[in-house]
Structures are given as structure tokens and as C-alpha cells.
Amino acid sequence: MNKWQFYRLKNGMLIANLISNLIGFLITQMITGVWNPLPEAIRVQVDRLNVYFTPLAFMTGFVLTMAYERPLRRYLHVHYYPGKTPKDALPVPLRRRSLNEPFFLILMDFGLWIASSVYFSIGTWSMGAQPHVIQFMFAVGLYTGLVTSIIAFFTLEYVGHKWVAPVLFPDGRISTTPGVLRIRIGMRLTAMLLGCNIIPFIAILGSLRQMKVSAIASSTTVTQCGMAIAVNSLVFMAIGVWITLLVKGNLTRQLNHVIGVLKQVRQGNFDPKVPVTSNDEIGYAGEVINQMTDGLKERDMIKEMFGRYVAHEVRDEILSGRIPLDGEVKEVTVLFCDLRDFTPLTESLPPKEVVRIINRYFRSMEEAIQAHKGLVLQFLGDEIEAVFGAPVSRHDHACLAVAAAQEMSRRMDQVNAELQAAGYPSLRHGIGIHSGEALAANIGSPNRLSYALVGDTVNIASRLQELNKVHRTEIILSGATRDRLAGDFPLTPLPETSLKGIARPISLYTL
């Protein structure tokens, strides 16, 4: 933050309120300059009173504003002084004080102008002025106070939105600050209606009434009436243009931010945030959009993380809801892969090196499985369980599983070449493949679920993997898998084997 930005942040509200009251003072001078029912003698005395009251009123407003802003100014000097970057968010009491400052200043302005009305009304009364003159003095102060308060309302809001809120509330979440008065869009429109229509109309009617009760010649009355209407009309046309520009700037700036972020979201970019600078409906919409983009970004991150565990097409099917996860019987091919003689290796090497070796092996095997549309269900120690044909059904699941096993065998050679080059012993593994029906579902406790397969198909595949030790082979598949193969795979039959719990012998083949 440079010096100009710091000065604007620290004094923006004070200067905006001062300008609003100067405009109100000039309006008073214009109105009384066009038509003033005060007798000359009383007018001179009122001017003398004004010489003392106006500086006193402005000084009072300045002192009250500085007193209100004192805690905030101290904090700004410590944390926002040029060259400093605030480390912590603005404390809640100072957030509340900053957001409520426009209301405090508007009430203060209106109170000072009411005090002006009372002061000059009493002053003219003590001078022996007629009732209509006393009413005129009170009406001018009240009328100018209303106009000044409305001008200050929109000017302070503009300064707060453009200069103050973006710096003090970079995280948005303005609506979460407790004890803050809300400026709704309906309140803005009501103030705009008062400032541009109702108050000018009442002011003109009041001027006409004052002329009627004043002792002025009829020819002069017509001239004064025309001038009063013309001046009031010009004044409020200028006020209307000023207020419209302020309201347009506030609303369009916020809406453009919202539209810009929504366009980015539509393109899949969830990083941009809506700058929240108000606590009205648009500001709340900005906060909701920011929360929505955070949720979408988190969901996208979870989706990418999920894609590390399953193939992307499987992930997309699951997230789309097209796959029932509460249990279904599917025809699948299950693959089990287990490292051989890995326990002695874990005892001879440091733990970190063992983890690095096994992770290198798992990464390579998982890539081979996913390349053939398989899903790794889990890593069990040094064992891999994978399925082909679930959760996304595939008619060629057996061919994919056998092709994946061949790819895993080739990749094992590459892994061993790397290990040998690094001075480590080679690895061996055994792969068992079986096809059949299995129950696929989300299984576990309410707090933790995992997508798993249950049934004889899984058990048989696991036992076939163990039979590689008996037959001194690397890959064994069952006759059920062979019967589902459509391609030309170099199979060699092995002796039939009886497995515990299985009524008929299982025909075996190896690649």
C-alpha cells in the first residue's frame, strides 16, 4: 500500500462526509439567496449568528467523526501504514465500527442540521420575527438536513465500497460481522426516491406557501415563485444526477464482478473471487458465489484425488451416479498379484528404502492395470487386488485382465532393471486371475466405506495367485477366464487342482 492509498483509506469517509455537508451548506445559501422573507434588520443579525454557528457545526462534526474513527485509525497506523502488509484480519469490533460508520455519520449530520433549525428558529423568535419567518428558518434547516443526509448516504456508500471495504475486508464475509446495520437495495431506492422526487416536491410546496403568507406584492410574488421553482429544480436535477451516478457505480461495479466470476466458473476456473464490498443482497450473493466456487474447487480437487485411485472413466461413472454402490451382482474378472520373498528384503534394508522400492513397484503395476481399464481395489501389504468389469461393466473383462497381467510382467522386468542398477536384488511376483460373478458394493462401517467384491470368484483368484509357488509360474488363470478370452493368448494348460470349498476341480492355465 502506497501513501496515497493509505491516506484515502484513512480519510476517505471523513472527506466524503465533509463534501456532503458543504454541498448542503451551498444549497442553503442558494435557497435563501433566491428568496428570503427575513426583514433586513433580522437578516443582518442572522448572518452574524451564522458566522459563529457554521464553523462550530463543522468543527463539531469533525471532532465527533475523529472520536468515532479513533480506534480504527490507531489500528490502521499500526497494520496498514505505507509499506506494511497486515498479517491478521481486522478484529470484529473494528469491522463492526467500520461498517456502521456511514450510519453514524448520517445521523450526526442530520442531528447537526436539526440543531441548526432549532438554533436559528429560536434566534429569529428572540428577535421578534413573525411566525412565518420562524417557520421558514426551521424548514430551511430541516429540508437541507434531509438533502445533506441523502447525499451523504450515497457518497459514503460509494467511498466505502470503492476505497475502504476492498482493503479492510479482502476476505469478504461482511454479512457474518455481528451488530452491523444492513443497507438493503430497497433502502437505497427509497432514499433515491426521497432525494430526487419527494423532498424537492415538498420544498417547492413549502416555498409557495411561504410566499403566500408573506406580505409581498403580487407582481413580485410571481417572479419570486418562478425563481424559486427554477432554483429548486436545478438543484435537485444536479442532486439527482449525482445520486444516480453514485448508485450506478456501486451497483454496476458489484454486478460486473459477479458476472465476471460466473463466466470464469462456466469455463471451469474456480480461482477468481467476487470482491464483497457491501452487506446488501448483492454482497450476500457475492459471498454465496465465493462459497460455491470454494465448494466446486474442493469437489474438483476431490475428483482429481479420486482419479488417482481409480481410472478416470470409472471415477466419472461413479460421480455421475450411474453406478449403484449399494450392492449388485456383476460378472467380473478378478486379479491378485503378490510379491515373492519380500519379507527378507524388508529385514535387510532400511524402512525408507523398502517403502521407496515397494511404492515404485506398486506404481508400475497400477499403471499397467489402469491402462487396461482395471480398478485397483486395495493394496494389502505387498499384495494387489484388482477387478476388471466393475464398477463399469465390460464384456471383454477377461481379455483386459490377461492383457494387464502380460503388461505387469513386462513392467516387472523394467522395475528389476532399475533395482539392479541401484544395487538392489530383483523382485518376483505371482498373478492369479479368475472370472465369474461377484457381489460388488460399498462395504464397511458408517464412518468408513470401501468399494469391494465379495464371493467365490474373489477367493478363487486369490488362491490361484498362491498356486504360482507350486507350479513355479508367474501367471495362472482359470478355465473360466480362458473360456471368456476372445484374443490369441499363448496359454499352457496345467494340471487340474481341487480347492478347499470348491466342489469341482479347477482347470488351470499359465501364460
The pLDDT score that the predictor gives to residue 134 is 83
Q: In the predicted model, is pLDDT for residue 301 greater than 80?
A: no
Query: How confident is the model over 74-84, as pLDDT tens digits?
Result: 999 888 888 78
Looking at residues 363-376, what average pLDDT do you find? 93
Neighbours of 83 (CB within 10 A): 9
Looking at residues 128-147, what average pLDDT do you find? 82
Q: In the predicted model, is pLDDT for residue 362 greater than 50?
A: yes
Q: In the predicted model, is pLDDT for residue 219 greater than 70?
A: no
Q: In the predicted model, is pLDDT for residue 311 greater than 60?
A: no
Alpha-carbon span 305 to 309, nearest angstrom? 7
Q: In the predicted model, is pLDDT for residue 104 greater than 50?
A: yes
Range scoring the smallest mean pLDDT among 164-168, 294-298, 301-305: 301-305
Query: How confident is the model over 25-46, as pLDDT tens digits?
Result: 887 777 666 666 677 778 788 8
The pLDDT score that the predictor gives to residue 209 is 66
The pLDDT score that the predictor gives to residue 85 is 76
pLDDT band at 358 (very low <50, low <70, confident <90, very high): very high
Task: Tell me the C-alpha to C-alpha distance, in Å, between residue 32 and each of 27, 43, 54, 126.
Answer: 9, 10, 15, 20
pLDDT band at 435 (very low <50, low <70, confident <90, very high): very high
Q: In the predicted model, is pLDDT for residue 450 greater than 80?
A: no
Q: In the predicted model, is pLDDT for residue 479 greater than 80?
A: yes
Strand partners, 340: 428
Q: In the predicted model, is pLDDT for residue 467 greater than 50?
A: yes
The pLDDT score that the predictor gives to residue 31 is 67
Which residue's C-alpha cell is 438543484?
235
The pLDDT score that the predictor gives to residue 433 is 97
pTM above 0.85, yes or no: no
Tell the burial category of 321 from Cβ atoms under 10 Å away from its Cβ (0-12, 13-18, 19+). Answer: exposed
Share the mean pLDDT of the chain. 85
Task: Tell me the C-alpha to C-alpha distance, in Å, between residue 420 and each of 139, 285, 362, 412, 425.
Answer: 99, 61, 17, 12, 6
The pLDDT score that the predictor gives to residue 202 is 72
pLDDT band at 15 (very low <50, low <70, confident <90, very high): very high
Distant-in-sequence, close-in-space partners of 358: CB < 8 Å, separation ≥ 6:
339, 342, 382
Q: In the predicted model, is pLDDT for residue 175 greater than 80?
A: yes
The pLDDT score that the predictor gives to residue 500 is 81
Looking at residues 118-142, what average pLDDT do you find? 84
Alpha-carbon span 155 to 20, nearest angstrom? 7
Kindly list the domain boundaries of the chain, sorted by start residue: 3-246, 312-510
The pLDDT score that the predictor gives to residue 29 is 74
The proportion of the chain whose per-residue pLDDT surpasses 90, expressed as a percent, equals 37
**Nearest in space to 440 (alpha carbons), one of 430, 427, 428, 454:** 454
Neighbours of 367 (CB within 10 A): 12
Range scoring the smallest mean pLDDT among 132-141, 167-176, 334-343: 132-141
The pLDDT score that the predictor gives to residue 217 is 45
Considering the four listed CATH numbers 3.40.50.720, 3.30.70.1230, 3.40.718.10, 3.40.50.150, the one that applies to the domain covering 312-510 is 3.30.70.1230
Query: How confident is the model over 63-74, as pLDDT tens digits?
Result: 999 999 999 999
Are the CB atoms for 156 and 106 separated by under 8 Å?
A: yes
Looking at residues 252-276, what average pLDDT do you find? 90
Q: In the predicted model, is pLDDT for residue 226 greater than 80?
A: no
pLDDT band at 49 (very low <50, low <70, confident <90, very high): confident
pLDDT band at 454 (very low <50, low <70, confident <90, very high): very high
Are the CB atoms for 136 and 85 separated by under 8 Å?
A: no
The proportion of the chain whose per-residue pLDDT surpasses 70, expressed as a percent, equals 89
Looking at residues 104-120, what average pLDDT do you find? 92
